[in-house]
């Protein structure tokens, strides 16, 4: 795929000319009347019907409005999206206790460091790659995926000179560098390098906030609470007037595109992007999503968001990087067992359902899921039935294409702890990011991850 | 060096910006009245307000039942929103909001007591424009904070670093500024001794200091040695050479989006140190600074935006939905996302914009014009004038005006040829214009 906008000084005319050309390339892939992917619950025709007309218009003439051309660009992205690879980044917020999720049952110091928190000998599920370790009882779904060869585990992932601040360490992970001054996310930089100038859902946070890992310098990205919930209604406004009102939203945003005031311009950009996102998501309103598999039922939005994500992918929407936060509170300074079990169970079960959903829809080879947390927790428990901030923690890669092999060993609780009693890292997150760029996205990691050359790359795919 | 003071025109536009930055926007006619006072008196009327008065009907839920801020979920949010809407001391409420963000404590994690959260809120309001030193000491032993950052679990035999770390990183010095991991550990030791009791079904209570749980050994903090306790912890942070610069920069950022120039920054730091950590003189200087009036706009925080809509409409808090709606816009009071507070420079994205759309729609719902009974003129300019008058004529950029006029004109054209549409569309258009004005980039920022 050509790099649609790797440069700033791309003139608007040139942009539109290229967009039209790309829309043309995209058309054969998305002819009206294509069969429905199994179980999507959405008519592909219905989605396409809203946009192919516009794409054809882009292709057609010289007297077109810029709004029509914008739609053409989105359509061009949709055309090429059906076989492009997608990364889903899932954040365990708070610093997940890797020493409980994959607990070192066979480590001689485990029960002395964790006299109250240690899990019973026979609890949980075996971890065949390392007989010392067992999966937490709430991680049965992960154990199952691991058994199927679809889960690669990093038992002690981190970086040298670990920072124990949530915000600093999380920031490092989000920006892909141990540098507090970087303002773009690692996925945002990937989008800036390879994305398109008018497709905000190429980087999509399924969250009510933008995930910082998606923050770009130039190209638009988006967040939305969930794909089945993006409508705009007003009181006593209906029919044609309502349709006009929605068009106006886009015009209101564009009216501020060239103002010198940064806050107004930013607000205008968000309004424009929201308007476009509303159009793209319109096909998903009103419970239109029918998943081919059952997701866990929960008050938490996580399973619903994953179900919606699978439907978006099935409909061929142009997503590249998706980020969301897992359920649960992982900053377990006190009363750890209950808090950890609840979040871990819902997260694991939802991930299993998502994987099965993708498999049923024939999408599984296109999706890689990356699970991370800002750090692990201290080897020794504290006096509040909890654990304090540690260093290395757990990381996971999930998908049908992953190697399914442990990366880096579990360093053990004797020589594997640093001077402060925290796990030493046996793999570096920046090496994993570089491997994702090179092996999954087949792009140059050097342009995305600072000093990429200095980190060892694990083999992450089969 | 003296701190620069804005000497330009202080008209309605400047008064309006001041009311948004230092409060929750004007009530109808308020900007004009404030402008008449002149800049200096206008600022002083905010920083040294009259005794508190809440004007208008008391807050209720949707069935007109009085709210229950101590008991019902979300009614704490309604309680505070009501003060923002009805109160006559906007800056005091705005500063209370600043401190809520600064010492962010969430009822979601651990605290789980609206009573303790409201008690903390009263504490923050009490010190809103007072002494930062006293504020910091009171926050350190505040029950909600003791729970939230595990201060009540921090003992001699088992120190817990949670509060100690944030005390420096988020409250007084800033991340990686003049302290290291050893200072974190030693601060945690100094802060030991706070305790509470816990009963199932009741929660934490009886917050007190227990000397036998305090580590009374010698600690070494910022290179100084002593048998420090929790008050020393706070004092050492305030006396740290990097504290004043942190506080000035952070406080400034709540009012002005650009960073202060070097001489202004230095002068404010000096003012802060010489006044022995007083907040009011700093805020008075910031609110008179040229950068506030001449600099770029700021995105309004969601609750400020909401309170402003209600103030402009003359509507009180009469619905419990504001809690849920405000959450979707990215800000539920008493539930900041984490101890660092809200991301104040990232309020707007595609999800929170939709949240704001829905806030505006909910505000407008009770007054929506009914096309069956109401009439409106079939003239685009008149319809826009009427919709603007509804919001007390907020200033709009010409691009916004043009987009709105084009919308009205196109919709009027759509109606031509149908007698029913010619009668009803102007009413629908007026409703839509009220909504579009409220969500325009112009009204999202101040």
How far does B406 lie from chain A, in Å, by closest CA?
Answer: 8
What's residue A284's pLDDT? 59
CB contact under 8 A, A270 and B348: yes
DSSP letter assigned to residue B114: H
Residue A97 has pLDDT above 70, yes or no: yes
Listed in sequence order, the residues at least 6 apart from B99 whose beta carbon sits closer than 8 Å to its beta carbon are B124, B127, B128, B135
Give DSSP secondary structure letters for A317-339: ---SEEEEEPSS----SSSHHHH
CB contact under 8 A, A236 and B427: yes
Q: Alpha-carbon torsion A340, A341, A347, A352, what sign?
A: positive
Q: Collapsing DSSP states into helix, strand and coil, what is residue A154?
A: strand
In order of A210, A302, B32, B356, the CA distances from A129 in angstroms are 37, 29, 74, 50
What's residue A24's pLDDT? 24
Residue A234 has pLDDT above 70, yes or no: yes
What's residue A59's pLDDT? 16
Q: Collapsing DSSP states into helix, strand and coil, what is residue B178?
A: coil
CB contact under 8 A, B403 and A233: no
| Distance (Å, whole) CA B149 – CA A334 | 10
Of the listed ranges A137-141, A184-188, B287-291, B340-344, the least confidently predicted one is: B340-344
| Distance (Å, whole) CA A219 – CA A200 | 8
* Residue that has been written with the tokens 């709606």 in this structure: B325
| Distance (Å, whole) CA B431 – CA B444 | 19
CB contact under 8 A, B330 and A209: yes
pLDDT in tens, B94-132: 999 999 999 999 998 678 899 999 999 999 999 999 999
A225: chain B residues, CB-CB within 8 Å: 328, 351, 354
- What mean pLDDT, rounded, does chain A reach? 80
Among B149, B164, B351, B436, the residue to mutate for chain A (most A Cβ within 10 A)? B351
Nearest CA in chain B to A201: B350
pLDDT in tens, A409-453: 999 999 999 999 999 999 999 999 999 999 999 999 999 999 999
Average pLDDT over residues B282-301: 98
E-strand ranges in A176-247 read: 203-206, 222-224
In order of A389, B134, B135, B166, B221, the CA distances from B173 in angstroms are 20, 17, 16, 9, 14
What's residue B328's pLDDT? 86
Q: Collapsing DSSP states into helix, strand and coil, what is residue A102?
A: strand
Name the band, by pLDDT with cuts 50, 70 and 90, for residue A229. low
| Distance (Å, whole) CA A398 – CA A400 | 7
What's residue B340's pLDDT? 87
How far does A302 lie from chain B, in Å, by closest CA?
Answer: 16
How many Å is the maximal CA-CA distance in chain B?
89
Residue A300 has pLDDT above 70, yes or no: yes
CB contact under 8 A, A256 and B354: no
CB contact under 8 A, A262 and B370: no
Q: Which tokens belong to A54?
A: 């516009």
Nearest in space to B191 (alpha carbons), one of B223, B213, B222: B213
Name the band, by pLDDT with cuts 50, 70 and 90, for residue A167. confident
Residue A89 has pLDDT above 50, yes or no: yes
At residue B364's C-alpha, the angle toward residues B363 and B369, to 5°, is 160
Listed in sequence order, the residues at least 6 apart from A265 whose beta carbon sits closer than 8 Å to its beta carbon are A256, A257, A258, A259
Domain with CATH 3.40.720 in chain A: 86-192+286-454
Name the band, by pLDDT with cuts 50, 70 and 90, for residue A264. very high
**A and B: number of Cβ contacts within 8 A:** 190
Asked if ipTM goes beyond 0.90, one says yes
Q: Are A94 and A373 in contact (CB under 8 A)?
A: yes
Q: Using H for helix, E for strand and C for coil, what is the string for B362-395? A: HHHHHHCCCCCCCCCCCCHHHHHHHHHHHCCCCC
B373: chain A residues, CB-CB within 8 Å: none
| Distance (Å, whole) CA B300 – CA A164 | 32
CB contact under 8 A, A165 and B169: yes
Percent of chain A with pLDDT over 70: 77
Residue ranges of the alpha helices (H) in A117-261? 140-147, 166-175, 186-194, 239-254
* Residue that has been written with the tokens 């010289």 in this structure: A62
Residues in chain B: 446
Q: Judged by CB atoms within 8 Å, which residues 267-306 of A form the interface with B? A: 267-268, 270-271, 273-274, 277
What's residue B171's pLDDT? 97
Average pLDDT over residues B354-361: 95
Residue A287 has pLDDT above 90, yes or no: no
- What mean pLDDT, rounded, does chain B reach? 96
Q: Which tokens belong to A326?
A: 């897992």
Residue B21 has pLDDT above 90, yes or no: yes
* Residue that has been written with the tokens 């929103």 in this structure: B81
What's residue A80's pLDDT? 63
* Residue that has been written with the tokens 């296109």 in this structure: A366
Q: Is A247 exposed, middle or buried (0-12, 13-18, 19+ CB in 10 A)?
A: middle
CB contact under 8 A, B440 and A210: no
Name the band, by pLDDT with cuts 50, 70 and 90, for residue B343. confident
Residue A60 has pLDDT above 90, yes or no: no
**Ramachandran sector of residue A357 (left: φ over 0; alpha: ψ -120 to 50; beta: rest):** alpha
What's residue A63's pLDDT? 30
DSSP letter assigned to residue B141: T
| Distance (Å, whole) CA A194 – CA A188 | 10
Burial of B288-305, coded b for 16+ CB within 10 Å and e otherwise, reads bbebbbeebbbbbbbbbb
Q: Collapsing DSSP states into helix, strand and coil, what is residue B301?
A: coil
What's residue B332's pLDDT? 95
Residue A38 has pLDDT above 70, yes or no: no
A377: chain B residues, CB-CB within 8 Å: none
Residue A273 has pLDDT above 90, yes or no: no
Q: Are A452 and A445 in contact (CB under 8 A)?
A: yes
Name the band, by pLDDT with cuts 50, 70 and 90, for residue A182. confident
How far does B296 lie from chain A, in Å, by closest CA?
Answer: 6
Q: Which tokens belong to A63?
A: 């007297």
Give the up-direction half-sphere exposure of residue A312: CA atoms within 13 A in the CB hemisphere: 30
Nearest in space to A306 (alpha carbons), one of A318, A320, A289: A289
Name the band, by pLDDT with cuts 50, 70 and 90, for residue A75. low
What CATH number should be reported for the domain whose range is A86-192+286-454? 3.40.720
Among B106, B110, B297, B349, the residue to mutate for chain A (most A Cβ within 10 A)? B349
CB contact under 8 A, B150 and A232: no
pLDDT in tens, B183-217: 999 999 999 999 999 988 788 999 999 999 999 99
Q: Are A206 and A91 in contact (CB under 8 A)?
A: no
Phi, psi of A152 (to 5 degrees): -100, 135
| Distance (Å, whole) CA B1 – CA B263 | 7
Q: Collapsing DSSP states into helix, strand and coil, what is residue B161?
A: coil
Residue B32 has pLDDT above 70, yes or no: yes
Phi, psi of A371 (to 5 degrees): -110, 130
Q: Are A245 and B439 in contact (CB under 8 A)?
A: no
Strands A125-126 and A134-135: antiparallel
Among A66, A237, A238, the residue to mutate for chain B (most B Cβ within 10 A)? A237
Kindly list the domain boundaries of chain B, sorted by start residue.
Answer: 371-446
Residue A70 has pLDDT above 70, yes or no: no
Please name every residue paired with A222 in a beta bridge, in sequence order, or none if there are none. A204
pLDDT in tens, B67-98: 999 999 999 999 999 999 999 999 999 999 99
Nearest in space to B343 (alpha carbons), one of A170, A158, A370: A170
| Distance (Å, whole) CA B364 – CA A234 | 9
Average pLDDT over residues A348-355: 98
Q: Is B278 exposed, middle or buried (0-12, 13-18, 19+ CB in 10 A)?
A: middle
Name the band, by pLDDT with cuts 50, 70 and 90, for residue A222. confident
Residue A226 has pLDDT above 80, yes or no: no
Nearest CA in chain B to A253: B441
Residue B279 has pLDDT above 50, yes or no: yes
Q: Which tokens belong to A74?
A: 């989105």
For A135, the enclosing helix (H) or strand (E) is: strand A134-135
Q: Collapsing DSSP states into helix, strand and coil, what is residue B29?
A: coil
What's residue A147's pLDDT? 97
Percent of chain B with pLDDT over 90: 92
Listed in sequence order, the residues at least 6 apart from B212 whose beta carbon sits closer than 8 Å to its beta carbon are none
What's residue A288's pLDDT? 59
Q: Judged by CB atoms within 8 Å, which residues 220-259 of A form the interface with B? A: 222-225, 230, 232-242, 244-245, 247-249, 251-256, 259
What's residue B184's pLDDT? 96
What's residue A293's pLDDT? 95
Q: Collapsing DSSP states into helix, strand and coil, what is residue A89?
A: strand
| Distance (Å, whole) CA B395 – CA B393 | 6
Nearest in space to A31 (alpha carbons), one of A84, A83, A75: A75
Minimum-distance CB partner of B175 among A165, A247, A251: A165
What's residue B197's pLDDT? 94
How far does A96 lie from chain B, in Å, by closest CA?
Answer: 16
What's residue A161's pLDDT? 92
Q: Are B127 and B134 in contact (CB under 8 A)?
A: yes
Q: Residue B75: count other Cβ atoms within 10 Å of its Cβ.
A: 21
Nearest CA in chain A to B398: A255
A262: chain B residues, CB-CB within 8 Å: 257, 296
Percent of chain A with pLDDT over 90: 59
Q: Which tokens belong to A82?
A: 């059906």
A422: chain B residues, CB-CB within 8 Å: none
CB contact under 8 A, B411 and A240: yes
């Amino acid at each position: 795929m050509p790099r649609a906008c790797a440069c700033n000084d791309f003139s608007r005319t040139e942009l539109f000319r290229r967009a039209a050309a790309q829309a043309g390339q995209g058309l054969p892939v998305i002819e009206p009347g294509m069969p429905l992917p199994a179980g999507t619950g959405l008519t592909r025709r219905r989605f396409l019907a809203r946009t192919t007309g516009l794409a054809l218009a882009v292709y057609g003439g010289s007297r077109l409005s810029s709004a029509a051309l914008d739609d053409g660009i989105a359509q061009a992205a949709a055309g090429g999206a059906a076989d492009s690879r997608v990364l889903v980044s899932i954040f365990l917020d708070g610093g997940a206790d890797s020493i409980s999720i994959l607990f070192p049952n066979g480590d001689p110091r485990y029960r002395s460091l964790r006299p109250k928190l240690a899990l019973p000998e026979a609890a949980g599920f075996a971890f065949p790659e390392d007989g010392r370790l067992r999966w937490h009882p709430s991680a049965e779904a992960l154990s199952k995926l691991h058994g199927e060869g679809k889960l690669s585990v990093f038992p002690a992932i981190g970086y040298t000179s670990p920072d124990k601040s949530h915000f600093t360490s999380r920031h490092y992970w989000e920006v892909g560098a141990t540098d507090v001054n970087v303002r773009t996310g690692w996925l945002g930089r990937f989008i800036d390098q390879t994305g398109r100038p008018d497709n905000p859902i190429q980087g999509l946070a399924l969250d009510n906030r933008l995930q910082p890992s998606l923050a770009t310098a130039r190209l638009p990205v988006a967040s939305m609470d969930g794909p089945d919930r993006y409508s705009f209604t007003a009181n006593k406004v209906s029919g044609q007037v309502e349709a006009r009102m929605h068009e106006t939203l886009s015009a209101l945003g564009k009216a501020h595109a060239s103002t010198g005031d940064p806050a107004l311009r930013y607000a205008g950009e968000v309004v424009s992007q929201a308007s476009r996102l509303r159009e793209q998501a319109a096909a998903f309103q009103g419970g239109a999503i029918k998943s081919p598999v059952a997701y866990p039922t929960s008050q938490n939005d996580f399973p619903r968001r994953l179900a919606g994500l699978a439907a978006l992918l099935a409909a061929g929407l142009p997503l590249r990087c998706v980020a969301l936060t897992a359920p649960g509170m992982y900053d377990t300074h006190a009363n750890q067992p209950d808090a950890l079990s609840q979040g871990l169970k819902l997260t694991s079960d939802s991930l299993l359902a998502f994987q099965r959903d993708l498999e049923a829809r024939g999408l599984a080879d296109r999706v890689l899921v990356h699970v991370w947390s800002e750090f692990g927790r201290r080897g020794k428990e504290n006096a509040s039935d909890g654990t304090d901030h540690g260093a290395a923690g757990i990381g996971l890669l999930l998908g049908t294409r992953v190697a399914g092999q442990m990366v880096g060993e579990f360093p053990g609780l004797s020589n594997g702890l640093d001077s402060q009693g925290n796990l030493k890292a046996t793999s570096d997150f920046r090496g994993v990011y570089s491997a994702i760029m090179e092996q999954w996205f087949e792009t140059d990691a050097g342009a995305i991850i600072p000093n990429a050359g200095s980190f060892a790359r694990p083999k992450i795919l089969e | 060096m003296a701190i620069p003071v804005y000497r330009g025109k202080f008209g309605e536009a400047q008064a309006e910006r001041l009311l948004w930055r230092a409060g929750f926007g004007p009530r109808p006619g308020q900007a004009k009245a404030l402008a008449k006072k002149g800049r200096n008196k206008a600022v002083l009327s905010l920083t040294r307000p009259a005794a508190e008065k809440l004007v208008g009907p008391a807050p209720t839920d949707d069935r007109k039942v009085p709210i229950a801020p101590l008991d019902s979920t979300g009614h704490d949010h309604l309680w505070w929103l009501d003060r923002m809407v009805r109160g006559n001391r906007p800056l005091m409420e705005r500063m209370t909001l600043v401190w809520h963000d600064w010492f962010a404590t969430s009822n979601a994690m651990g605290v789980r007591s609206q009573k303790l959260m409201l008690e903390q809120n009263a504490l923050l309001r009490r010190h809103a424009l007072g002494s930062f030193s006293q504020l910091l000491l009171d926050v350190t032993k505040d029950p909600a904070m003791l729970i939230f950052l595990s201060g009540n679990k921090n003992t001699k035999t088992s120190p817990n670093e949670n509060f100690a770390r944030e005390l420096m990183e988020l409250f007084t010095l800033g991340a990686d500024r003049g302290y290291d991991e050893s200072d974190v550990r030693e601060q945690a030791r100094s802060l030991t001794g706070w305790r509470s009791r816990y009963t199932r079904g009741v929660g934490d209570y009886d917050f007190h200091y227990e000397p036998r749980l305090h580590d009374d050994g010698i600690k070494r903090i910022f290179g100084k040695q002593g048998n420090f306790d929790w008050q020393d912890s706070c004092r050492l942070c305030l006396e740290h050479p990097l504290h004043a610069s942190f506080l000035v920069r952070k406080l400034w950022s709540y009012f002005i989006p650009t960073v202060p120039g070097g001489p202004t920054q230095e002068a404010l730091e000096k003012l802060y140190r010489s006044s022995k950590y007083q907040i009011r003189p700093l805020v008075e200087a910031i609110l008179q600074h040229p950068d506030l009036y001449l600099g770029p706009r700021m995105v309004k925080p969601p609750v400020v935006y909401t309170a402003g809509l209600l103030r402009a409409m003359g509507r009180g808090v009469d619905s419990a939905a504001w809690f849920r709606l405000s959450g979707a816009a990215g800000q539920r009071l008493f539930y900041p996302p984490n101890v660092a507070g809200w991301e104040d420079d990232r309020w707007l994205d595609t999800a929170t914009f939709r949240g704001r759309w829905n806030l505006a729609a909910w505000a407008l719902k009770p007054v929506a014009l009914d096309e069956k009974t109401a009439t409106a003129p079939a003239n685009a300019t008149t319809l826009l004038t009427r919709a603007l008058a509804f919001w007390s004529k907020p200033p709009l950029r010409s691009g916004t005006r043009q987009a709105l006029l084009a919308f009205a004109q196109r919709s009027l054209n759509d109606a031509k040829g149908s007698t029913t549409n010619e009668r009803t569309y102007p009413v629908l258009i007026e409703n839509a214009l009220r909504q579009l004005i409220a969500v325009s980039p112009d009204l999202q920022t101040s």
